[in-house]
């Protein structure tokens, strides 16, 4: 898909199309992978709370800019609307041919489905479903890891406050 971006418009300057391609690769490939690596580090590496908070903030910012899940939804929804868009684009250009196809069944019977002059039947292939499943699993796992890190940070802060309170109270009793 990234290679196709450069060929979308012949009117746009090549530098602009290259920047769009770069933005696409960064937001759909690089940032989601970086987010998963950060989530893995948050989950697996022992670290001090300050470092955990820093990595957690970085992971949240990177996830906010990664758009693999958005791309999956847009791909699926746009394919379901493609035939309607194509019919709208054609307008009434096919009306006379469609009347002939319905009157002369021998021609209409040669066509799959409803006999029409023009139509588009997009299909989501296996690679899309694998990508969708991987996106769903990665998003779920990342959400779990970041939520667990937020809970761990909150528990650490609560322990620190409790320890400070105990220290203050013990100084007041002994002082």
**Full-prediction pTM beyond 0.75?**
no
Give tens-digit pLDDT for 84-106: 777 777 777 777 777 777 777 66
- Residue 155 pLDDT more than 80? yes
Q: Where does the pLDDT of residue 113 fall: very low under 50, low under 70, confident under 90, or very high at 90 and above?
A: low
Gap between the terminal Cα atoms of the chain: 71
Q: Tell me the CB-side half-sphere exposure of residue 63, using CA atoms within 13 A.
A: 20
């Amino acid at each position: 898909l990234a290679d196709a971006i450069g060929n979308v418009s012949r009117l746009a300057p090549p530098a602009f199309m290259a920047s769009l391609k770069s933005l696409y690769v960064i937001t759909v490939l690089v940032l989601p992978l970086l987010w998963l690596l950060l989530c893995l580090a948050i989950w697996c590496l022992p670290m001090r709370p300050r470092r955990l908070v820093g990595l957690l903030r970085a992971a949240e910012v990177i996830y906010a800019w990664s758009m693999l899940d958005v791309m999956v939804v847009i791909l699926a929804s746009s394919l379901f609307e493609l035939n309607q868009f194509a019919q709208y684009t054609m307008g009434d250009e096919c009306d006379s041919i469609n009347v002939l196809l319905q009157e002369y069944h021998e021609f209409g019977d040669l066509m799959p489905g409803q006999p029409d002059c023009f139509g588009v039947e997009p299909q989501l292939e296996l690679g899309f479903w694998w990508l969708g499943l991987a996106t769903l699993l990665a998003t779920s796992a990342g959400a779990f890891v970041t939520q667990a890190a937020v809970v761990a940070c909150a528990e650490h802060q609560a322990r620190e406050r409790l320890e400070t309170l105990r220290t203050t109270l013990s100084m007041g009793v002994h002082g």
